[in-house]
Protein backbone atom coordinates (compact mmCIF):
# COMPACT_ATOMS: atom_id res chain seq x y z
CA UNK A 1 0.00 0.00 0.00
CA UNK A 2 1.47 3.35 -1.03
CA UNK A 3 1.09 6.56 0.92
CA UNK A 4 0.97 9.87 -0.86
CA UNK A 5 3.76 12.15 0.28
CA UNK A 6 2.82 15.84 0.35
CA UNK A 7 4.92 18.43 -1.38
CA UNK A 8 6.61 21.01 0.87
CA UNK A 9 7.93 24.46 0.13
CA UNK A 10 10.82 26.34 1.71
CA UNK A 11 8.42 28.45 3.78
CA UNK A 12 7.21 25.31 5.56
CA UNK A 13 10.71 24.58 6.85
CA UNK A 14 10.56 27.33 9.48
CA UNK A 15 8.62 26.38 12.61
CA UNK A 16 7.80 29.04 15.22
CA UNK A 17 9.00 28.12 18.70
CA UNK A 18 6.52 28.52 21.57
CA UNK A 19 7.28 31.01 24.30
CA UNK A 20 8.85 29.38 27.31
CA UNK A 21 11.49 29.90 29.99
CA UNK A 22 14.64 28.34 31.39
CA UNK A 23 14.15 26.38 34.63
CA UNK A 24 16.35 24.52 37.09
CA UNK A 25 15.83 20.92 36.00
CA UNK A 26 15.70 19.00 39.29
CA UNK A 27 13.58 21.51 41.29
CA UNK A 28 11.17 21.86 38.36
CA UNK A 29 10.73 18.11 37.97
CA UNK A 30 10.35 17.64 41.73
CA UNK A 31 7.54 20.24 41.73
CA UNK A 32 5.73 18.43 38.89
CA UNK A 33 5.86 15.16 40.83
CA UNK A 34 4.95 16.49 44.26
CA UNK A 35 2.11 14.44 45.78
CA UNK A 36 1.68 12.38 42.60
CA UNK A 37 1.99 8.70 41.68
CA UNK A 38 5.18 8.63 39.65
CA UNK A 39 6.86 6.09 37.36
CA UNK A 40 10.44 7.16 36.69
CA UNK A 41 11.91 5.61 33.55
CA UNK A 42 15.70 5.51 33.33
CA UNK A 43 16.00 6.30 37.01
CA UNK A 44 19.34 4.54 37.60
CA UNK A 45 21.38 7.03 35.52
CA UNK A 46 23.74 4.32 34.28
CA UNK A 47 27.32 5.43 33.91
CA UNK A 48 26.88 8.47 36.14
CA UNK A 49 25.29 6.94 39.24
CA UNK A 50 28.33 7.43 41.47
CA UNK A 51 28.90 11.01 40.31
CA UNK A 52 25.24 11.88 40.87
CA UNK A 53 25.38 10.37 44.34
CA UNK A 54 28.45 12.39 45.30
CA UNK A 55 26.85 15.57 44.01
CA UNK A 56 23.52 14.95 45.77
CA UNK A 57 21.78 15.23 42.41
CA UNK A 58 20.32 11.76 41.94
CA UNK A 59 16.86 12.74 40.73
CA UNK A 60 15.16 9.52 41.86
CA UNK A 61 16.15 10.21 45.46
CA UNK A 62 14.62 13.68 45.30
CA UNK A 63 11.41 12.30 43.78
CA UNK A 64 11.14 9.74 46.57
CA UNK A 65 10.92 12.60 49.08
CA UNK A 66 7.90 14.28 47.47
CA UNK A 67 5.86 11.73 45.46
CA UNK A 68 2.94 9.78 46.92
CA UNK A 69 4.36 6.62 45.29
CA UNK A 70 7.40 5.99 43.15
CA UNK A 71 8.38 3.14 40.82
CA UNK A 72 11.66 3.01 38.92
CA UNK A 73 12.12 1.29 35.54
CA UNK A 74 15.50 0.78 33.91
CA UNK A 75 17.50 -1.57 31.67
CA UNK A 76 20.55 -1.21 33.92
CA UNK A 77 20.69 -4.43 35.97
CA UNK A 78 23.20 -3.26 38.62
CA UNK A 79 21.29 -0.01 39.01
CA UNK A 80 17.99 -1.82 39.59
CA UNK A 81 19.61 -4.20 42.11
CA UNK A 82 21.20 -1.29 43.97
CA UNK A 83 17.85 0.49 44.14
CA UNK A 84 15.90 -2.52 45.40
CA UNK A 85 18.63 -3.21 47.96
CA UNK A 86 18.13 0.40 49.08
CA UNK A 87 14.41 -0.09 49.62
CA UNK A 88 13.09 1.37 46.35
CA UNK A 89 10.54 -0.34 44.13
CA UNK A 90 12.34 -0.90 40.84
CA UNK A 91 11.99 -3.20 37.83
CA UNK A 92 14.40 -4.32 35.14
CA UNK A 93 12.72 -3.90 31.75
CA UNK A 94 13.38 -2.85 28.18
CA UNK A 95 11.09 0.14 27.81
CA UNK A 96 11.29 0.02 24.01
CA UNK A 97 9.29 -3.25 24.23
CA UNK A 98 5.60 -2.38 24.83
CA UNK A 99 4.76 -6.04 25.60
CA UNK A 100 7.48 -6.26 28.26
CA UNK A 101 6.26 -3.03 29.86
CA UNK A 102 2.65 -4.25 29.82
CA UNK A 103 3.74 -7.54 31.45
CA UNK A 104 4.86 -5.61 34.54
CA UNK A 105 1.16 -4.93 35.22
CA UNK A 106 1.91 -1.70 37.06
CA UNK A 107 -0.75 0.68 38.33
CA UNK A 108 -0.82 3.59 35.87
CA UNK A 109 0.79 6.75 37.21
CA UNK A 110 -0.17 10.42 37.31
CA UNK A 111 3.31 11.31 36.07
CA UNK A 112 5.50 9.18 33.83
CA UNK A 113 8.94 10.77 33.81
CA UNK A 114 11.38 9.72 31.10
CA UNK A 115 14.44 11.66 32.17
CA UNK A 116 17.42 11.72 29.81
CA UNK A 117 16.37 8.43 28.19
CA UNK A 118 15.01 8.94 24.69
CA UNK A 119 18.34 10.10 23.26
CA UNK A 120 19.85 6.69 24.15
CA UNK A 121 17.27 4.69 22.17
CA UNK A 122 17.40 3.33 18.66
CA UNK A 123 13.60 2.84 18.74
CA UNK A 124 12.03 5.96 20.24
CA UNK A 125 8.66 5.26 18.60
CA UNK A 126 7.98 1.95 20.40
CA UNK A 127 9.30 3.57 23.57
CA UNK A 128 6.64 6.29 23.41
CA UNK A 129 4.04 3.61 22.67
CA UNK A 130 5.12 1.73 25.81
CA UNK A 131 4.89 4.90 27.92
CA UNK A 132 1.18 5.11 27.11
CA UNK A 133 0.62 1.88 29.06
CA UNK A 134 2.13 3.47 32.17
CA UNK A 135 0.19 6.74 32.11
CA UNK A 136 -3.18 7.00 33.86
CA UNK A 137 -6.10 8.69 32.05
CA UNK A 138 -5.45 12.40 32.28
CA UNK A 139 -1.88 11.74 33.37
CA UNK A 140 1.23 13.43 32.03
CA UNK A 141 4.33 12.18 30.28
CA UNK A 142 7.44 14.30 30.88
CA UNK A 143 10.38 13.81 28.54
CA UNK A 144 13.70 15.49 29.25
CA UNK A 145 16.55 15.35 26.74
CA UNK A 146 19.55 17.34 25.51
CA UNK A 147 18.66 20.10 23.09
CA UNK A 148 20.34 19.81 19.70
CA UNK A 149 20.34 23.63 19.50
CA UNK A 150 22.32 24.02 22.74
CA UNK A 151 25.20 26.49 22.59
CA UNK A 152 27.80 24.22 24.18
CA UNK A 153 28.14 22.08 21.06
CA UNK A 154 28.01 25.09 18.76
CA UNK A 155 30.89 26.74 20.59
CA UNK A 156 32.84 23.48 20.97
CA UNK A 157 32.52 22.81 17.24
CA UNK A 158 33.69 26.30 16.29
CA UNK A 159 36.54 26.62 18.78
CA UNK A 160 37.86 23.08 19.20
CA UNK A 161 36.27 20.96 16.43
CA UNK A 162 34.79 18.56 18.99
CA UNK A 163 31.30 17.33 19.80
CA UNK A 164 30.13 17.21 23.40
CA UNK A 165 27.89 14.19 23.93
CA UNK A 166 27.24 11.31 26.32
CA UNK A 167 29.10 8.22 24.98
CA UNK A 168 25.81 6.29 24.75
CA UNK A 169 23.70 8.87 22.89
CA UNK A 170 22.49 7.86 19.42
CA UNK A 171 20.10 10.71 18.55
CA UNK A 172 19.57 14.39 19.35
CA UNK A 173 16.27 16.26 19.35
CA UNK A 174 15.09 19.80 18.76
CA UNK A 175 11.78 21.09 20.08
CA UNK A 176 10.20 20.54 16.67
CA UNK A 177 11.48 17.00 16.06
CA UNK A 178 10.60 15.80 19.57
CA UNK A 179 7.07 17.20 19.58
CA UNK A 180 6.50 15.91 16.05
CA UNK A 181 7.61 12.41 17.07
CA UNK A 182 5.39 12.48 20.15
CA UNK A 183 2.39 13.59 18.09
CA UNK A 184 2.94 10.76 15.59
CA UNK A 185 2.97 8.28 18.47
CA UNK A 186 -0.37 9.40 19.89
CA UNK A 187 0.74 12.08 22.36
CA UNK A 188 -0.48 15.67 22.51
CA UNK A 189 2.41 17.95 23.57
CA UNK A 190 1.09 20.37 26.17
CA UNK A 191 4.10 22.41 27.24
CA UNK A 192 7.84 22.87 27.13
CA UNK A 193 10.64 24.46 29.10
CA UNK A 194 14.41 24.42 28.75
CA UNK A 195 17.20 24.01 31.27
CA UNK A 196 20.92 24.67 31.59
CA UNK A 197 22.87 21.59 32.74
CA UNK A 198 24.88 21.76 35.94
CA UNK A 199 28.65 21.33 35.63
CA UNK A 200 29.86 19.46 38.71
CA UNK A 201 33.36 18.18 37.96
CA UNK A 202 36.18 19.43 35.77
CA UNK A 203 37.49 15.92 35.03
CA UNK A 204 40.35 16.00 32.52
CA UNK A 205 39.55 19.49 31.29
CA UNK A 206 41.95 22.33 31.93
CA UNK A 207 40.90 25.22 34.13
CA UNK A 208 40.55 27.31 30.98
CA UNK A 209 38.21 24.76 29.35
CA UNK A 210 36.13 24.43 32.51
CA UNK A 211 35.83 28.22 32.69
CA UNK A 212 34.84 28.38 29.01
CA UNK A 213 32.05 25.84 29.58
CA UNK A 214 30.73 27.83 32.54
CA UNK A 215 30.80 31.02 30.48
CA UNK A 216 28.81 29.39 27.69
CA UNK A 217 26.23 28.07 30.15
CA UNK A 218 26.04 31.52 31.70
CA UNK A 219 25.39 32.92 28.22
CA UNK A 220 22.56 30.41 27.80
CA UNK A 221 20.92 31.73 30.97
CA UNK A 222 21.36 35.32 29.80
CA UNK A 223 19.81 34.54 26.43
CA UNK A 224 16.92 32.88 28.24
CA UNK A 225 16.23 36.10 30.10
CA UNK A 226 16.40 37.95 26.77
CA UNK A 227 13.69 35.73 25.28
CA UNK A 228 15.86 33.10 23.58
CA UNK A 229 15.51 30.09 25.91
CA UNK A 230 16.00 27.49 23.17
CA UNK A 231 19.72 28.22 23.19
CA UNK A 232 19.90 26.21 26.44
CA UNK A 233 21.37 22.71 26.35
CA UNK A 234 18.40 20.91 27.89
CA UNK A 235 14.81 20.46 26.72
CA UNK A 236 11.69 19.30 28.59
CA UNK A 237 8.39 18.50 26.89
CA UNK A 238 5.17 17.48 28.64
CA UNK A 239 2.38 15.59 26.88
CA UNK A 240 -0.92 13.80 27.40
CA UNK A 241 -2.56 11.05 25.39
CA UNK A 242 -4.71 12.19 22.48
DSSP labels, 201-220: --TT--HHHHHHHHHHHHHH
Could you tell me if 145 and 116 are in contact, meaning their C-beta atoms sit under 8 angstroms apart?
yes
Q: Given this model, what pLDDT does residue 156 score? A: 86
Q: Given this model, what pLDDT does residue 49 score? A: 56
DSSP assignment, residue 147? B
The mean per-residue pLDDT over the stretch 212-226 comes to 91
Alpha helices, DSSP H only, in the chain? 25-33, 49-55, 59-66, 77-85, 98-103, 124-132, 151-160, 175-184, 207-225
Q: Given this model, what pLDDT does residue 99 score? A: 97
Would you say residue 81 has pLDDT above 90? yes
Q: Given this model, what pLDDT does residue 213 score? A: 83
Interior angle at CA 89, CA 115 and CA 238, nearest 5: 25
Is the sign of the CA dihedral 162, 166, 171, 173 positive or negative? negative
Residue whose C-alpha is closest to residue 132's, from 94, 83, 182? 182
**What number of CA atoms fall less than 13 Å from residue 144's CA on the CB side?**
25
Give residue-wise pLDDT tens across range 86-134.
999 999 999 999 999 999 999 999 999 999 999 999 999 999 999 999 9
Q: Given this model, what pLDDT does residue 31 score? A: 98
Beta bridge partner(s), residue 72: 40, 90
Say what the pTM is: 0.90
Would you say residue 211 has pLDDT above 90? no
Q: Given this model, what pLDDT does residue 55 score? A: 47
Would you say residue 68 has pLDDT above 90? yes
The mean per-residue pLDDT over the stretch 81-85 comes to 94
Residue whose C-alpha is closest to residue 116's, from 140, 143, 134, 95? 143
The mean per-residue pLDDT over the stretch 178-193 comes to 98
Give the whole-angstrom CA distance, residue 96 versus residue 121: 8
Quick one: pLDDT band at residue 210, thresholds 50, 70, 90?
confident
Would you say residue 229 has pLDDT above 70? yes
**86 or 4, which is more confident?**
86
Q: Given this model, what pLDDT does residue 173 score? A: 97
Pairing of strands 109-115, 135-146: parallel
Of 9-18, 58-67, 121-130, 162-171, the range with the lowest mean pLDDT is 9-18
Tell me the domains of the chain and their CATH numbers. 18-148+167-200+234-241 (3.40.50.150)
Question: In which order are the strands placed within the sheet that holds 89-92?
Answer: 22-23, 187-195, 234-241, 135-146, 109-115, 37-41, 69-74, 89-92
Phi, psi of 211, deg, nearest 5:
-65, -40
Of 8-17, 153-162, 232-241, the range with the lowest mean pLDDT is 8-17
Amino acid sequence: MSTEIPEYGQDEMAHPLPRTSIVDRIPWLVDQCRGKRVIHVGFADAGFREEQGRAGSWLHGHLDEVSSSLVGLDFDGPGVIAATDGGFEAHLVDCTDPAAVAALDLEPADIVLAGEVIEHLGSPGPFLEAMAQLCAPGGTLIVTTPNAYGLVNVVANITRRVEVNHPDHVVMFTWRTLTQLMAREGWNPTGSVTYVPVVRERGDRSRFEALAVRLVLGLERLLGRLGRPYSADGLIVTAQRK
